[in-house]
Amino acid sequence: MTFAQRLDRIAGLTEARLATLVGANSQRSEDAGRVPTRLFEALRHATLGGGKRFRPFLVVESAALFGLSEAAALDTAAALECVHCYSLVHDDLPAMDNDTLRRGQPTVWKAFDEWTAILAGDALLTVAFETLSAPATHPNAEVRLALIAGLARAAGKDGMVGGQALDLEAERSAEAQAPTVREILHLQSLKTGALIRFACEAGAMLGEASPEERAALVRYGDAIGRAFQIADDLLDAEGCAETVGKAVSKDAAAGKATLVGLLGIADARAALAQAEQDAVAALAPFGARGDMLIEAARFVSRREH
Amino acid sequence: MTFAQRLDRIAGLTEARLATLVGANSQRSEDAGRVPTRLFEALRHATLGGGKRFRPFLVVESAALFGLSEAAALDTAAALECVHCYSLVHDDLPAMDNDTLRRGQPTVWKAFDEWTAILAGDALLTVAFETLSAPATHPNAEVRLALIAGLARAAGKDGMVGGQALDLEAERSAEAQAPTVREILHLQSLKTGALIRFACEAGAMLGEASPEERAALVRYGDAIGRAFQIADDLLDAEGCAETVGKAVSKDAAAGKATLVGLLGIADARAALAQAEQDAVAALAPFGARGDMLIEAARFVSRREH
């Protein structure tokens, strides 16, 4: 299978799993009253019908390095995607990035309303941890706990949420000085990097890999996360809304400091090439087994939308 | 120790634990950049400096039935309190209940801003699961996983968030019919009941109690949760802002259907007495060991603020 076929296949499997995970729990008591219909519709809107499902791909393919089947990695992959989707739902809110378009569709708050979007995000984050706690995720209890601890660190105050807060603090504080390249890299390693890094590490956790193999996947995840963000910045600076599927040049319009803004397009392209090279180098210990993840690094670095 | 002294003592222990849990992780990499100061201030504002800490009390005292020390139950208690605090931070948002006062202090969005409140709530929910995953919470991995699964169910789409969504859907939908008493009871058993019920069940989980003992604590938690909500409704209908410490008569002003509104004050008081009686009856299997939890049921039913 080519990379594009694998990405597509894992996206389909993830979508099917998400559809189950975000539904109402069927083990409700018989005297249950009304179901919050609007909330459940919003959960489906937030999670289904699109997206490359790149984080699930990374989980499944990282786990495959250790001989795990797609099925054995799928719940972890779907849990991570829930966290990614929740972060998009909350980031799109008027008080945050105020976005109305996402994957060519109205954002959750636009399609529903703000309170539904706030609650849908909260519910998705909770679903992620509920999913990871279940025996179907991995037969070894210690592995499930390590996944939960790792996801919480990657997603929370010291990870993704912390990075988002840093970004907004820098953007909206009157006193804040413009961030340096180093500070932007740090911010992005939290805001988008932490979850991507964890997707790769989760594969090693599921595969009960050696510490060395796990460290190699963290390095790979770090590099591909950097590549992902730089490529995103370049697309935002150069792209058009049609191919990107969401509003573009928003960062520049918001006066947001980006790596591309500070380095210029040529140096940003060089940093992107370096990140791609780092990602490939990190996979060396896995030999030919790492080919699909190498393809992923190339895809991220060279994508045009 | 009297009940008031125990409540006070556990509140103090919980507060100290929360102060650590919501701080920045000290194991940051040496090249870490800026810390999101505003986010961390908001996390402290959201969790410290007040509150009866009733859910932590229930966790610690339920665990004590099985001989567990305060220390052995404290992390679980603090994790639950994080979820409670996150729900208040998000519920207070302008798009939700639009509250500006909480425990006599400005709410998080009022003291900071909306985006900080959204992110602080997200971070607190994540802290809860990170805390429960740690070995300090309980030496038995299966117990920690059961706590995580139980908290996620109590807090998420089929629990607290689902109840909050039901409440707002009923309030804001033009087509929605006024809810019946039965529907309000169901809604409240999710919105406020699920977390209180789980606080009691968590004590049984920590104590590795028998299924019968655990079921008894779930019944107790269900009854005390009902009592808590009816008492709250009565306070809202009868109280004044000075003793309640937050805006009152908001429910009536918002046209929100409450049990007190449907039943009238006399019948609501009778339902409250019944809930108190149910709570006491559920504790029968524990004999004199249950005295402190019986005091708690009396406190909830008879509190005046």
pLDDT in tens, B150-204: 999 999 999 999 999 999 988 887 776 778 888 899 999 999 999 999 999 999 9
Neighbouring residues of A224: CB distance < 8 A, sequence distance ≥ 6: A58, A196, A200, A275, A279, A296, A297, A300
What residues in B contact A130, CB-CB < 8 Å? 148-149, 152-153, 156
Cα separation, A10 vs B92, whole angstroms: 39
Q: What is the mean pLDDT of residues B72-84?
A: 98
Q: Nearest Cβ partner of B122 from A40, A125, A183?
A: A125
pLDDT computed for residue B171 by the predictor: 84
Cα separation, A188 vs A268, whole angstroms: 14
**Domain range list for chain A:** 3-302
Which CATH code of 1.10.600.10, 3.50.50.60, 1.10.20.10, 3.40.50.720 fits the domain covering B3-302?
1.10.600.10
Residue with tokens 């636009």: A110
Q: Could you read off the pLDDT of B129-150 as tens digits, one per residue? A: 999 999 999 999 999 999 999 9
Q: Nearest Cβ partner of B96 from A38, A118, A165?
A: A118
Cα separation, B126 vs B108, whole angstroms: 18
Residue with tokens 């594009």: A4
Asked if A161 lies within 8 A of B32 by C-beta distance, the reply is no
The alpha carbon dihedral of B174, B175, B178, B179 has a sign of: negative
Is the pLDDT assigned to residue B30 strictly greater than 50?
Answer: no
Q: Could you read off the pLDDT of B4-21 as tens digits, one per residue? A: 999 999 999 999 999 999
Hey, is B101 helix, strand or coil?
strand
Q: Could you read off the pLDDT of A92-113 as tens digits, one per residue? A: 999 999 999 998 899 999 999 9
Q: How confident is the model at residue B243 (pLDDT cuts 50, 70, 90)?
A: low
Averaged pLDDT score across all residues of chain B: 91
Q: How far is A21 from chain B (nearest CA, A)?
A: 11
Cα separation, A196 vs A63, whole angstroms: 14
CA nearest neighbour of A305 among A249, A251, A241, A259: A241
Is the pLDDT assigned to residue B229 strictly greater than 70?
Answer: yes
pLDDT computed for residue A26 by the predictor: 58
Q: How far is A221 from chain B (nearest CA, A)?
A: 16
Is the pLDDT assigned to residue B305 strictly greater than 80?
Answer: no
Cα separation, B20 vs A178, whole angstroms: 31
Asked if B166 lies within 8 A of A129 by C-beta distance, the reply is no
Q: Which long-range contacts (CB under 8 A, 24 or more apart) does B159-162 make?
A: B159/B190, B159/B194, B159/B195, B159/B198, B160/B83, B160/B87, B160/B190, B160/B191, B160/B192, B160/B194, B160/B195, B161/A39, B161/A119, B161/A122, B161/A123, B161/A126, B162/A35, B162/A36, B162/A39, B162/A123, B162/B190
Cα separation, B90 vs A184, whole angstroms: 29
Is the pLDDT assigned to residue B27 strictly greater than 90?
Answer: no
Closest chain A residue to B94, measured at CA: A115
Whether the CB-CB separation of B165 and A114 falls below 8 Å is answered with no
pLDDT computed for residue B241 by the predictor: 47
Of the listed ranges A46-60, A230-244, B210-224, the one predicted with least confidence: A230-244
Whether the CB-CB separation of A103 and A51 falls below 8 Å is answered with yes
Tally of CB atoms within 10 A around A256: 18
Quote the crossing angle between the two packed helices B70-91 and B114-133, to the nearest 10°: 160
Pick the more confident residue, B158 or A170.
B158
Q: Nearest Cβ partner of A24 from B148, B158, B169?
A: B158
Q: Could you read off the pLDDT of A186-209 as tens digits, one per residue? A: 999 999 999 999 999 999 999 999
Q: How far is B243 from chain A (nearest CA, A)?
A: 29
Tally of CB atoms within 10 A around A132: 32
Residue with tokens 């306070």: B235
Residue with tokens 């948002």: B93
Is the pLDDT assigned to residue B228 strictly greater than 90?
Answer: yes
Go through chain A and tell me how many residues it has: 305
Is the pLDDT assigned to residue A23 strictly greater than 70?
Answer: yes
pLDDT computed for residue A251 by the predictor: 59
Asked if B127 lies within 8 A of A90 by C-beta distance, the reply is no
CA nearest neighbour of A7 among A48, A55, A57, A49: A57
Averaged pLDDT score across all residues of chain A: 91
Q: Nearest Cβ partner of A115 from B36, B95, B187?
A: B95
pLDDT computed for residue B78 by the predictor: 98
Cα separation, B44 vs B89, whole angstroms: 12
Q: How far is A134 from chain B (nearest CA, A)?
A: 7
Whether the CB-CB separation of A125 and A86 falls below 8 Å is answered with yes
CA atoms in the 13 A half-sphere facing the CB of B218 = 11
Asked if A155 lies within 8 A of B114 by C-beta distance, the reply is no
Q: Nearest Cβ partner of B127 from A119, A134, A157?
A: A157
Asked if A129 lies within 8 A of B127 by C-beta distance, the reply is no
Cα separation, B220 vs B274, whole angstroms: 12
What residues in B contact A153, CB-CB < 8 Å? 25, 130
For the CA atoms of B82, B83, B84, B87, the dihedral, rounded to the nearest 10 degrees, stands at 120
pLDDT computed for residue A246 by the predictor: 54
Cα separation, A46 vs A38, whole angstroms: 12
Asked if B152 lies within 8 A of A144 by C-beta distance, the reply is no
pLDDT computed for residue A197 by the predictor: 98
Closest chain B residue to A167, measured at CA: B36
Closest chain B residue to A137, measured at CA: B145
Is the pLDDT assigned to residue B31 strictly greater than 70?
Answer: no
What residues in A contact B125, CB-CB < 8 Å? 122, 125-126
Whether the CB-CB separation of A28 and B190 falls below 8 Å is answered with no
